Each structure stands twice: as structure tokens, then as C-alpha cells.
Amino acid sequence: MSLTTAPPGSTAPSPTAPAGSAAPASRRWIYVVLHTAGRRVLAEPGGLLVSLVFYGLVVAVLAGLWSAAAEANGGTVAGYTAIALTWYVAVSEAATVSLNIRMIDDIGRDIGGGAVAVELLRPASVLGVRMVSELGRALPRLAGCLAAGTLLATATAGGPPRPAALALTVPSLVLALMCNIAAQHAFAASAFWLRDAGTAWFLYQKLVFVLGGMLIPLEVLPGWLGRAAALLPFRAMAYAPARLASGHMEPVLLLEQLGWLAALVVGAGLVFRAGQRRLQVVGG
Amino acid sequence: MRHPGWMTAATAATAASRATAGAAIEVRGLTKAFAVGRRHARRRIEAVRAISFTIDSGERVAYIGPNGAGKSTSIKILTGILHPTGGEANVLGVVPWQDRRRLAARIGTLFGQRSLLWFELTPRQSYRMLAAIYGLDARQERTRVAELADLLEAGELFDVPVRNLSLGQRMRCELGAVMLHQPEVLFLDEPTIGLDLLAKQRFRELLVRLNGERGTTIFLTSHDVADIEHVAERAIVINHGSVIYDDAVATMRRRLMATKLVEVGLAEPSERVAMAGVAVLEHSPTRMKLVVDTATTPIRDVVDALLDDHDVADISVVDPPLEQVIAEIYGLPQR
């Protein structure tokens, strides 16, 4: 067996490595991680219930505020009726409350504390396993929030403004979760350099709250801010499914989300790879 | 006789033969330097300095050294987590930092202070995730988990959430996680840290059994001398980033320590011993405890003199404890 000279930092495969026993090519892990992560949430119904109660409270308060604003403004705000606004906040909140609220902070702690080093010992993408696991945890919560939101919006404001548009909301919500998870991983990767992602977490939340349309439909934002929001990926994370749920039949929003998802996954992959490389060269 | 260098001629010959037959790990001149400090006061620290060794398939090797000696850094390089600054290494024919994921499918690594399991899940659920990540299908997963339940005698623990397991129970399940994909080499970084005596003993027995039954190569770091004595056949000692000793554990005491402990039971009170190279630790009318520097006076001469000059009821000559041997090795000059 001959030794291969190791140029520092090189990542090319070893020319002397024997054949066989390569890292697994099967994608079964995606299903298993998704499924196990989902079961993990369902195994703790208390946590799920707390999320749903929190979600219900936030939706009730925001729907009340927006309905009052619409009433005071002659029945609409930026073209949204009180019913549309109620459905809007029910879906925009579902898109964000379903996710681990401290995701960036948790990832940052794992990177800064060195737990990610253990994940590098597995024959799978660290980022891939983490993102699939987060999606698996979010999907049961999303189902719960959707059910609770539908009941709440129907009971307090009335049925969906446009049921056909509502049908597009479900796939749009799943895409919103995926975009959000990818973006949060990209932000959290700052911990590879800063050792902590607390600041990134604080900043990210505010960006999604406002520029993502979680609290406010983007049409309500002042001109320059609205134009900025239109150019940024955050609108794919709450605004897109909420806009559909509020009765706007705009399938292009799904295409836009797909585009952002591809860009965010590539972006997160590049940042994570650079971070991992730094960890491997500089140490953790 | 105090050993003058880091490797005996016999060990060097053994190492040379290993290099040609079934080497699992080969390391030549491996170096890792870190830059520390702020921009204007940046210093370069060599955590690992040009280390070289070869480990044969199926060997059980203890890789030991004081804190900060470079043990964990070496393991991180050999498992592909860290890139070296220089030198060469291959593990199972793979350069770890060039093909980390491919190597990961063939090795298992356990850091005593890091968990491979998900705390919210049961070990069985964690194994399911890991099995899928390691590319096992559902049937292979079931078979392996059943085998591990027998091997680890831990089947009843597999359905308890990890966060509810004691440390000893968790470490058994961690070993299951690291063995699930049947690795050819196990890297264990202080795996018994924090375990109670019984759990440590059980863990050591498991490692020896795994090695015996499956031929798994074991590369172990530990500060616990009992881990080294009970698990390892060979010890590589590293200090200040360099390998300072590499030999069989069984010969470690003999080759390195020039001292013997002699305990003498006396039938009648006698005078205090006065011989070159002999220090009296304890002297009472019925008992003597001596430390003999065999480089100055052979042990045989000391025993003969004791038997001639004293009414000896009982005598024993023992090697010093391994802790003392290792402390002595840490004090050896670097190569």
C-alpha cells in the first residue's frame, strides 16, 4: 500500500484509494430522516400543543388588528379586505411558526461548540441532513397550524376568499418552509467565522417579519421598502403562500419560490462548504 | 536500563513488517500547525509535529499523551475532519482529508464528550437515521441492530429516549451507533471519560470482544491507564506533538523503567539496607520496602544481598504502576 502525498487543503479524491465501500449513493436517508424527525415532533404532543396555542393567539391578535385597520380604512387595506387579511395572517404565521424558532441560534451553537465536527464523520452532507431534519420537524407543525388556522379564520372572518387559490397555498407553504430553512442555514453558517450566530438570528427574524411579509402584506410597505422586498428572497418565505391564501390566484408565485429555493440551497451550500473548509483547515 | 530513544530495534522491525502487510493506518511526517492570536501578534503553534507510525489491521493501539499533546488533533486529521499542514497519511487506503465521506463509510469515530445519538430520540430511532445515512437498507438495519443488541447486551435500552439513559448506558448505545455500519477501524477519543468503574470495565471488555470477533482495528486515546492496560496491545505516546514512544504495552514497563519495587517481609528485625542504587521507602522491624535502580545495581544482586544478610520470610519484586511508567515516558526527550 503506497502513501499518497497530501497537498494541504486538497480535496481531490485519492488516486490510490481502493475501489468499493464508497459513501452511500442511496437517497433512502432523505425519507428516513424526514420521517423520523416528523415522528419526533408527534411523540411530544405537549410541545406541538404549545406551538399551536401560540400560533392561535398571534393569528387572533393580528387578524383583529388588520380587520380594525381595514374597517377604519373603508373596508380594505392595500386592496385586501378584512377576510383576506385574516386568511393572509393565518397562512403567513403558519409558514413561520411551524419552523424551529431558534434554528439559526441552534445551528450556530452546534458550529461554535464543535458538534458539527461529529456530523462531518458521516458519509452524507452535513447541510443536507440538517435541512431535511428541520423540514421533517416542521411539516407536522405546519399541518397542525393549517388546521387550526382554517378553523380560526373561518370562525372569525368567514371561508377562504377564493378556494381555488387556497389549493395552491399548501405547496406554496412547503416551498416557503424549504426556502426559509435554506436561508437560515446560510445565515447560521456565519458561526463558522464568528463562533456564534446570535446576531445573525436577531437580524434574520426582523427581515422575515417585515420584508418577508409575515406581519404586513408587502403592498402596505412604503414605496422604496416595497421595491426592496420585491427583490429579496424573504417574500418567498411568508408573503407568497399568504398572498395566495388571501384570494390572489397568482401561480407565478410558486415559480418564483422555486427559483429562490434553488438559489438559496446553492447559496447555503456554498457558505456551508466554505465554513466547513475553514473548520477543516483552521480547526474548531 | 533506561531506554534511550522512542522505539526499540525490535519494535522498529515489527513496524517495518507491518508497513508491508495489511496496514490499516499509515502516517508519515504528519504535521498540523495552527495560527493563534490577533493579526499583529499572530503565532504559529504546531499541534502535531512530523509524526509517523503504521498500524496493522486488527491491532488495538492506545494513542496516549498528556493534555494538549496533539492526540485529538491527530484523530481529527485521520478521520478527515482536519486538514494537515504537511505530511502524508492514509486510512484503509484513503487519504482522509481528500475523501472524507468515502472514508466515513468504513470507519467509526467516537468522541467521549460528543454524542452520535439524537437526545430526543431513542437509540433505535437514532440507529434508523444513521443506518439510512450510512446506506444500509431496512433489512440490513434490522439485522445489525439485533446483532448489536446481543453484542452490547443493551436491547432493552434501545427503546428508551437517549436523554433518559445513564452515561454508562448511553456510551454502550453510542458504541452501537459507531458499530452499526461495521467499520473496519474504530477511532475512540477518551470513550470512557465520566463512566463509573463497572461501566468502564464493561466498555473495555466490549472493545476487546469486538476486536476479537470482528477484527476491528482499535485506535484509542485515554487518560485512564486501565483502558490502556485492558484494551491496547501497543502504545504510541505523543507529547508536544511528537511521537516519543511506540512499543507493546506488555513490554512498556520492562523496557522503560529502570526501577523495581522490592517488598521484604522479615522474620527478625534487621539493619537498614545500605547499597548503591537502593533507596529505602519503608523500614520497620517486620517489613522493608525498597526502590532499586537496576541501572546501578542489578535486581539479582539486591535480592542475593537481602537473602544473605537478612532473615527473610517473604520477598516480592514488582514493576512500578503503569501510571508511573507513563509519567516517566512523558518526561522523555523528544526525538
Q: A178-199 pLDDT, tens per residue?
A: 999 999 999 999 998 887 888 8
For residue B11, pLDDT over 50 is answered with no
Please, what sign has the CA dihedral across residues B132, B134, B137, B143?
negative
Task: Kindly state the helix (H) or strand (E) to which residue B28 belongs, with its residue range.
Answer: strand B23-36
**Alpha helices by DSSP H, chain B:** 9-20, 71-78, 100-104, 123-133, 138-152, 167-179, 197-214, 225-231, 249-256, 299-309, 322-330
What is the distance between the alpha carbons of residues A63 and A68, in angstroms, rounded to a whole number? 8
B308 burial (CB, 10 Å; 0-12 / 13-18 / 19+) is: exposed
Using an 8 Å Cβ cutoff, are A52 and A144 in contact?
A: yes
The string of pLDDT tens digits covering residues A23-46 is: 445 788 999 999 999 988 888 889
Q: What is the pLDDT of residue B254?
A: 66
Give contacts of A 33-62 with B, CB under 8 A.
33, 36, 39-40, 43-44
What is the distance between the alpha carbons of residues B83 and A263, in angstroms, rounded to a whole number? 29
A20 touches chain B (CB under 8 A): no
Instruction: For residue B332, name the pLDDT band (cuts at 50, 70, 90).
Output: low
The string of pLDDT tens digits covering residues B140-177 is: 999 999 988 988 888 899 999 999 999 888 988 998 99
For residue A264, pLDDT over 90 is answered with yes
Which residues from chain A sit within 8 angstroms of residue B88, using beta carbons? 3-6
Which of B97, B111, B164 is the mutation pick for testing A, counting most A CBs within 10 A?
B97
B108 DSSP β-pair partners: B186
The C-alpha cell 497537498 sits at A7
As a whole number of Å, the end-to-end CA separation of chain A is: 32
For A280, the closest of B82, B130, B132 (CB atoms) is B82
For residue A162, pLDDT over 70 is answered with yes
The string of pLDDT tens digits covering residues B186-216 is: 999 988 887 888 888 888 998 999 899 889 9
Q: The complex's ipTM?
A: 0.80
pTM assigned to the model: 0.80
What is the distance between the alpha carbons of residues A78 and B156, in angstroms, rounded to a whole number? 61
Which residues from chain B sit within 8 angstroms of residue A23, using beta carbons? 101-102, 104-105, 135
Q: What is the pLDDT of residue B257?
A: 62
Residue B266, all three cell numbers: 522479615
Distance from CA of A62 to the nearest CA of B (A): 33
Instruction: For residue B35, name the pLDDT band (cuts at 50, 70, 90).
Output: confident
Q: Is the pLDDT higher at B7 or at B331? A: B331
Instruction: For residue B221, name the pLDDT band (cuts at 50, 70, 90).
Output: very high
Which residues from chain A sit within 8 angstroms of residue B80, using beta carbons? 120-121, 280
Mean pLDDT over B294-310 rounds to: 89
Nearest Cα residue to B62 out of B276, B322, B332:
B322
What is the distance between the alpha carbons of residues B194 and B182, in angstroms, rounded to a whole number? 26
Mean pLDDT over A233-257 rounds to: 96
For A4, the closest of B76, B88, B109 (CB atoms) is B88
Mean pLDDT over B292-305 rounds to: 88
Which of A121, A122, A126, A278 is the mutation pick for testing B, counting most B CBs within 10 A?
A121
A29 touches chain B (CB under 8 A): yes
Instruction: For residue A221, name the pLDDT band (cuts at 50, 70, 90).
Output: very high
Taking CA B102 as the corner, what is the angle to CA B97 and CA B106, rounded to the nearest 5 degrees? 105
Instruction: For residue B15, name the pLDDT band (cuts at 50, 70, 90).
Output: very low
